[in-house]
Amino acid sequence: MAARSIRKSVSFDESKGDKALLDAIAAHQSEHAQSFNELCKQALHQYLLSREPTQSVLLFMELQHQVAQLGVRVAALEDETSIASAFSQPESPIAATKDTITETVNDVLPTDHDSSMSDDPVLSRLGPLLDDF
């Protein structure tokens, strides 16, 4: 007793997607000796029944993994950048003020500090304070 065959039909319209699919079917059939019926069965079996991921699914999963790794690297670089910028700023306004005072005093005082400090009592008291600061 022969198995009873069930017929299903596929309709294609004039849309771009359907035209592209028909072109792909024609190209596949020109390269492989496979009927439309066999091609449909193979595609449906692979799409609906296959438990193994296809090559494109494996590639997509690999790309997702790489994107996640890049996200982690970018976050780490952003953290390093924010930490580096925090340390590159002056420690405090006091440190910046100290640098400004030191530069101003160095500009005003003569190069020979010892002789001028001994002549001026204010400068002789100010000199050690600036050194301690």
pLDDT in tens, 112-125: 545 544 567 777 77
User: What would the pLDDT profile of 50-80 be if each residue is shown by its tens digit?
Assistant: 777 777 878 888 899 999 998 888 888 888 8
E strands present in the chain:
none
Contacts of 87 (CB under 8 A, 6+ apart): none
Please give the model's pTM, rounded to 2 decimal places: 0.36
Does the structure show a pLDDT above 60 at 111? no
Domain spans, the chain: 16-52, 55-89, 92-132
Which pair of structure tokens corresponds to residue 40? 């449909």
Q: Which residues of 50-89 are buried (b: 16+ CB within 10 A; e: fewer)?
A: eeeeeeeeeeeeeeeeeeeeeeeeeeeeeeeeeeeeeeee
pLDDT at 24: 93
Mean pLDDT of 126-130: 73
